Structure 1
Amino acid sequence: MVNLVSLHDSYDPFKLTFTMEFCTKCQTIISKLFIKSRYHRLELQSHDQPSRQLVQHLQLGRDYREVYSIDEGCKLCTFIKRGLPDEAVARRVSESWRHSRAVSLRATGGNALCHASDDGGLQIFEIKVSIWTVELIPSAEFYFDFSVTAAKGSSAATAGDVFGTNPLLQLPVSDILAKLTGWFNECASYHDKCRRHTDTGITEATKPELPTRVLDIRSSQDDAVIHLRAPHGLRANYAALSHCWGPPAKQPLCTTKVTLDQHLAGIQVSHLPKTFQDAVSIARAVNLQYLWIDSLCIIQDDPEDWNKEAPCMGQLYSHAKLVIAASGANDSSEGCFLPRLAPEPSIDIPYMKEDSNRHGHVQLNMRRSMVTSQDGTPVMPIYEPLGGRGWVLQEWALARRLVHFTTRGMMWSCRALDNWAMCEDGHVVAGTTARDWDDVIEAYSLRKLTYLSDKLAAVEGIARKMQHRRQGQYISGLWTGEMPQQLFWVARMTTRPRELQRFPSWSWASTQGPCVMLVPKRIRWDKITIRSTVEAKDSSTLMIQCQAGKHAIGKDSLTLREATQLPPFVEFVGANTIPNLWILLIGGLAHRLLDPETQKTVGLAVLDDNEDSKDDDTLCTSLLLMEEISDTYTQGRLPIFLALLVREAGAPVHTYQRIGVAFIVDEKVFETQNEKKFTLI
């Protein structure tokens, strides 16, 4: 007779399910995933910055073949295989390596935003599958990752072992606002970097002075009405909206000379476009009384008011307690709470504690790469509709706290997270790219402006904030104390439209299109010798003293990839600009720089205006700014002369205008040339 008591005592439904769903290897991985003693570098960073210091490596196989022969009946194996590239790709990557590689699962934790790590939890938020070398350097071609999330109130979340929470999907707006309020209060309470204005010394206690006009969204007992106010020096916290205006047919509600008195008397919330209505709800949810929206707080048909307010834009966004970015909306009619895209694939796995018992489950959410979603679109705010607008770079870069509303959910950014943005599941992705002025130029020149005349006005606030750590005076988008390197910006498929002719030709602001900075961003100082002196006479005129040569620009336009593989440039195959040009300037064109008498190729020319090479007059002057020492594989150390290409302006007399840059590889070009002075406008 079977002993029913013994049989009943040995029966464990959790263990049985666990065994049936997962293979032996995956059972081992799951049982070790939340064991704290297995993690390396357990010390945590401060609350003021994201941390990824908790790391555990678990081997999936000795090479890629073991991974591709995983157990099809195992829930986790099958899920991992969904994220793997084609087996041929893995074979090619593996066979190109000289040493044996292991395929590893790496669990990563830390403190992305929350201070809850004080309770000793692991704070796991990411699992990455990758092929690792002996030196633990991952292959960028062969990896994917999961976010690890737990339901609110679950054992894993309560214990502090999982930081991320499950995506909200199509839940009520109240749930989205509740999550945002938690992030906001967390940051306002614990992030010292975000609680103070480092540029002004204003603290949370003193509060900033309100802008010239602001929307009062709580003064009325009737929540259906808000008022435009002129606070006249009142100090209070406020939110600011960052949004797309959209095409003329979708322009938002504006304050004009005619409607100013009406808006001061009161605005029905129902009369606001959807994005503005949502911004009011968001600001109220975080208990802010005031909200700044550009179209309503600046008198749109008053040039004098615009000229007064535009220079204050940077300070305005910097001082806001929260910047609300309607990043996923194309215009003000779409709102902040957008329909969300379908979530990435996910599975549940058991949450196993050190007692070896199962305590509910956690969710693994597929992320085929850090930045790309299931539909192939990068999961970064800069790739949302709002991210491509010119003024937005400044609005995001200077914000203390910033929340993005996108079709992929909310993303939180603050000064504690530096330039990163945290998704709802705890993953951190690139937020904004304005760490340094060179980054500003490159990121900003990619963006669109409705009015090209705003070219420099839209980054003036960033320039003011960076002034204390830059050299010299800021003029026309460049810093006088960092010449000539600031002059050597390189254009990629740019033009010089009429609207930008108000800016000097030597400024990147005179072109429309992407620009790249080389020194010292991409060429180290120890590789550079300065061969010129530059003096600013005024905000539009430079005096350059240097050696110069006469050259012709070849008519043939080559892609940079073609050009850098032709002689004599193919000889420069080491760590220098020549072989890297086509990567830095993808899609760009180059022209041969020629000796005008012998027609010998002496260098490469990259022009600021793509239409310029079609002119009959191809003669130009090259001004030697710097010399790069190149270490080549075949011929040792060779010089590359970095020069400006200029032409005579005609008026005023004896002045020159920039037309591009040159990479000159003929050492004889400047050998017999004496230094001269050139006036550049």
Structure 2
Amino acid sequence: MPLTYTPRDRDYIPPPDTPRRAWNRPLDLPPEDATLGLCARHRLMDLRLADFGPRPFTQQLPPEWHLGTYDEVAARRSWCKLCQLIAEVCKDIAWTDQADIVMSWVGDVRWKKKASPNHDLSDGVGGMETWETLRLTVRSIMIGRAPAFTPFDLVPIGKKGELFQGRLLNQGQIDVDLVRTWLKSCREWHGAECSHWMRQQSALPTFYPFIRLIDLEENCLVERNDLVPYVALSYVWGRVKVFKTCEKDIDALRLPGGIEKKKSLFPRSIRDAMTLAQRSGYRYIWIDSICIIQDDDTDTYKNLDKRHQIGQMGKIYQYADLTVVAASAEDANAGLPGVEAGTREARQKEVKISEDLGIVNRSVAWPDALLKTTWEERGWTYQERILSLRYMYFVDDTVHFQCQRATWSEDFAAECRDLDLTAADQVVNFSIVPSEVPPTVELRPNLKFQLKRYPELVGQYTCRNMTFITDRVNGIQGILNVIKDHFFSQNVEFVHGMPTGELLHPGLLWRPRREPKRIHVDERKARPLWPSWAWAGWIIPVYYDSGADFSANSSGRYQTQISLGPDPYFLHLKARVARFRLMIEDRGNEDAVPPLPRVRPTRLTRYAITHVTNPEGGDHEWIGSIWLSWSHRKKFVERRLSLISKVTHEFILLSDADKFEQEELVQAATAEKRAVVNVMMMERKDDPGTDGRVRIERAGVGRMYRDAWDRVEEKWERFELG
């Protein structure tokens, strides 16, 4: 049968209306012949090593190839070597047999080299041109909204360790020599950009009062305040028993050999991390359960030690020479697969296509797999990921190295100094620490960056889980300390996880993502652990509308006076107060009053804000919006085309706002541009505040039109917001 298309024929002109690269373009397939080792599609594809590059970046990608459904691919596995590889990889990850499978060429490694004499320099910069290699990604066509399986790559096997080709794994154990090569290459090629130790080799104290480390040569705990190269372990404890250093153990663990005597009590992840660190050439390692005194009592010394160590955990991960991440481990006993012989089974399959080409699969989506791990869901591990400069991830029985300049994997050779980009780099989240700037330079990026970073971090962190809710602020304090040191002026502090000083006003504008639930009461102080104005005071994920909330523009006229009280649990306010009603509207049906929606009592609800009375006697005007708990609906009655609250609610005017969020606006509100203000709905408390102030709590934060506020009767009051 004639072929409609030859992959290397650049002069081929497809029929009219036929997409050249489309997976569903028409193909005339040759007859199937089981004696040839490849199916008709893969013979037509005619894969060769040269197809994977290198090639100019500006060259058009080759076409996609439709392999049929998973059932059809599996049926050809008995005579097609490539279908066999694809079917074997897919069988454990595909949730349907009817998904169409497509092979797509995707750019992989990219670099620059000197342009050839005939090269059009408009494609390059300074006489350089960009080149790339390719990889084949196997993916499914979407069924509904979900792919049938996680995409994976096919790459050529490097016979002699060639760059930009696949690397066969040692099935039972990781290659520690490769790990040492990664570390050596990063130090030589990237220098201080990826290492605080290389920036700051001095006798000056780095840690106060000290950092406690495990000395792997002397097998004991040591306390130092200077900076030495050390490994930090990031893992989850889970529900297994974890050895925890207590005050009674300290003296024994400080003695040479003291750690070895207790080592049998350590969970496997800790033992493996110690082994890996030592084999990788490190003398010291930091592990939280061993290096922080874990006694849970009221002893002053123990609490002081724990408080100091937790207070500098951000610095501990920031200054670690390497952070080892037990990403796929469900608990501390899962270990680091491959550190000890026979402790992993690498999921790698290979096939020989021709004399010059062997193909092996590799996971294109290991960062996606990372997002689905227990480690990624835990609150404590968030700052460990954000602050570290070098990581070694153990994900699905494969090891990956990531620094500020590169991502290298055990199953693909990409250790090259002059890369612009690799496929894995496209999904890398680098550290927030601006390590490219020498430490002698003041780290003060522009105001826009300062205002943007905090809401992003809080939004991501509060979506994670904490075993002990009392750690809610401690789990992000390290990040906040780094942000303060590097990005903010000295008049900004963080209290209860919230910025004060110049950022106190925008800091108050967080919003809940779910039904607000107040934190439990601290029995010693007879009040909730954290105040209502702080996100930590509620057991919910939160977010900021960074563009609108963290605006530096304010006229001053609509800026409430807010300051920390003598007891920093409370804010002191001199604020304008006015009363409004809440309303639920239905603009889509003018003939019926909307019923109360059928929702679970735990649902978060957006309410419209309206005036207490409508002077024109018509429908109540939409003047703003606020997110509150479902429970407020109990106070609603039917009124014309709306559900409106029976009672009025008190609001404080906080500050000028930049704009409404798009989803806040109703259709009638988008016709004209009007100034907007931030408001807080408050609840008065029975217990009195200090200095004659009225004690209140936050109920919610919203926005309304400024001129709508100006039309109501307001009064000034002094409040104590707790």
Same fold (TM over 0.5): yes
Q: How does 1:128-207 map to 2 (within 5 A)?
A: 128=137, 145-151=151-157, 154=159, 157-158=161-162, 160-162=163-165, 164-166=166-168, 171-173=171-173, 175-197=174-196, 201-203=199-201
Per the alignment, in what secondary structure is the counterpart of residue 530 of structure 2?
A: coil
- Partners in 1 of 2:399 and 2:67 — Cα distance? 39
| Residue pair 2:111, 2:130 contacting (<8 A) in 1 also | no
Asked if the contact 1:646–1:658 (Cα under 8 Å) also holds between the matched residues in 2, the reply is yes
Secondary structure in structure 2 of the residue aligned to 1:496: coil
**Other-structure match for 1:509:** 536
- Note the C-alpha offset of 1:311: 1.3
Q: State the secondary structure of the residue aligned to 1:443.
A: helix
Does the CA contact (< 8 Å) of 2:57 and 2:130 recur in 1? no
Offset, 1:457: 2.4
Q: Deviations over 1:201-225 (max 9, x none)?
A: 5149999669442211112xxxxxx
**How far 1:278 moved relative to its partner?**
0.5
- The partner residue of 2:684 within 648, 652, 657 is 648
**Native 8 Å contact 2:56 2:132 kept in 1:** no
* Structure-to-structure mapping, 1:254-273, within 5 angstroms: 254-265=244-255, 266-267=258-259, 268=261, 269-273=263-267
Distance verdict in 2 for CA 1:664–1:127, change over 3 Å? farther
CA RMSD in angstroms comes to 4.9
Secondary structure, in 3 states, of the residue corresponding to 1:307? helix
- The residue number in structure 2 matching 1:244 is 236
Task: State percent identity of aligned pairs.
Answer: 17
Equivalent pair of 1:527/1:629 in contact (CA under 8 Å): no
Measured in 1, the distance between the counterparts of 2:202 and 2:357 equals 41
Q: Secondary structure at the match of 1:466?
A: helix
Where structure 1 has 5 or more consecutive residues not aligned to the other structure, the ranges are 1-15, 41-54, 91-101, 113-119, 133-138, 220-225, 352-357, 373-377, 557-562, 571-585
In 2, Cα distance between the equivalents of 1:526 and 1:465? 22
Superposed, which structure 2 residues align to 1:495-574 within 5 Å? 495-499=517-521, 501-520=528-547, 531-533=558-560, 535-538=562-565, 539-542=568-571, 548-553=577-582, 566-567=586-587
Q: Distance in 2 between matches of 1:293 and 1:626?
A: 46
Q: Cα deviation per residue 1:167-199 (whole Å; 9 max; x = unaligned)?
A: 55xx333x343443332222233223544429x
Write the mapping of 1:409-488 to structure 2, written as runs, cut at 5 A: 409-417=398-406, 424-425=411-412, 427-428=424-425, 435=432, 436-467=453-484, 468-470=486-488, 472-476=491-495, 477-479=497-499, 480-488=501-509
The answer to whether the Cα contact below 8 Å between 1:239 and 1:290 also exists between their aligned partners in 2 is: yes
Q: Deviations over 1:226-272 (max 9, x none)?
A: 222234x465322122222333xx33112222222222231333342
Q: Does the 8 Å contact 2:169/2:346 carry over to 1? A: no
Q: Which amino acid aligns with 1:589?
A: T
Distance 1:34 1:444 in 2: 40
Q: Counterpart amino acid of 1:306?
A: K
Structure 1 residues 390, 423: CA separation in 2 closer, same or farther (over 3 Å shift)? farther
Do the aligned partners of residues 535 and 622 (structure 1) sit closer, same or farther apart at CA in structure 2, a change above 3 Å counting? closer
| Contact 1:348–1:364, Cα closer than 8 Å, also in 2 | no
**Alpha-carbon distance between aligned partners in 2 of 1:676 and 1:325, rounded to the nearest angstrom:** 54
User: Which of 188, 206, 221 in structure 2 is aligned with 1:228?
Assistant: 221
CA distance in 2, matches of 1:166, 1:587: 50
Give the Å deviation of 1:636: 3.8
CA contact (8 A) 1:549 1:670 kept: no
User: Is 1:589 matched up with 2:605?
Assistant: yes
Q: In the alignment, does 2:89 pair up with 1:59? A: no
The answer to whether the Cα contact below 8 Å between 1:422 and 1:429 also exists between their aligned partners in 2 is no
Q: CA deviation at 1:664?
A: 3.8
Contact 1:328 1:384 in 2 (8 A): yes
Deviation at 1:516, TM superposition (A): 0.8
SS of equivalent residue, structure 2 residue 711: coil
- The aligned counterpart of 1:619 is 649
Asked if 2 retains the 8 angstrom alpha-carbon contact of 1:548 and 1:624, the reply is no
Distance in 1 (CA, whole Å) between partners of 2:680 and 2:86 is 53
Decide whether aligned partners of structure 1 residues 317 and 87 sit closer, same or farther in structure 2, where only a CA change above 3 A counts: closer
Contact in 2 for aligned 1:321/1:400 (Cα 8 Å): yes
Query: Partners in 2 of 1:439 and 1:638 — Cα distance?
Result: 28
Q: Secondary structure at the match of 2:459?
A: helix
Q: Which residue of 2 aligns with 1:34?
A: 52
1:459, distance to aligned residue in structure 2 (A): 1.9
- In 2, Cα distance between the equivalents of 1:325 and 1:569? 55
Contact 2:551 2:657 in 1 (8 A): no
Q: Structure 1's 528 and 35: CA in aligned 2 closer, same or farther, altered over 3 A?
A: farther
For residues 341-370 of structure 1, the C-alpha deviation after alignment (integer angstroms, 9 at most, x for no partner) is 8848x664758xxxxxx5232324475xx4
* Whole-angstrom distance in 2 between the partners of 1:427 and 1:612: 48
- In 2, the alpha carbon distance for the partners of 1:485 and 1:445 equals 18
1:660 aligned counterpart, secondary structure: strand
Does the C-alpha gap of structure 1 residues 105 and 332 become closer, same or farther in structure 2, counting only changes over 3 Å? closer
1:660 maps to 700
Confirm or deny: 8 A CA contact 2:337 2:397 kept in the other structure: no
C-alpha distance in structure 1 between counterparts of 2:697 and 2:603, whole Å: 25
CA distance in 1, matches of 2:148, 2:705: 38
Q: In structure 1, what is the Cα distance between the partners aligned to 2:172 and 2:202?
A: 31
Counterpart residue number, 2:360:
363
Separation of aligned partners in 2, 1:333 and 1:141:
33
Any idea what the Cα deviations from partners look like across 1:490-533, whole Å, max 9, x if unmatched?
Answer: 1122311225723232221211121111022x779699988434
- Structure 2: distance between partners of 1:510 and 1:217: 41
Q: Following the alignment from structure 1 to structure 2, what is the Cα–Cα distance between the partners of residues 228 and 668?
A: 64
User: Which whole-Å CA distance do the structure 2 matches of 1:103 and 1:203 have between them?
Assistant: 50
Residue number in structure 2 paired with 1:581 = none
Aligned residues of 1:421 and 1:431 also touching (Cα < 8 A):
no
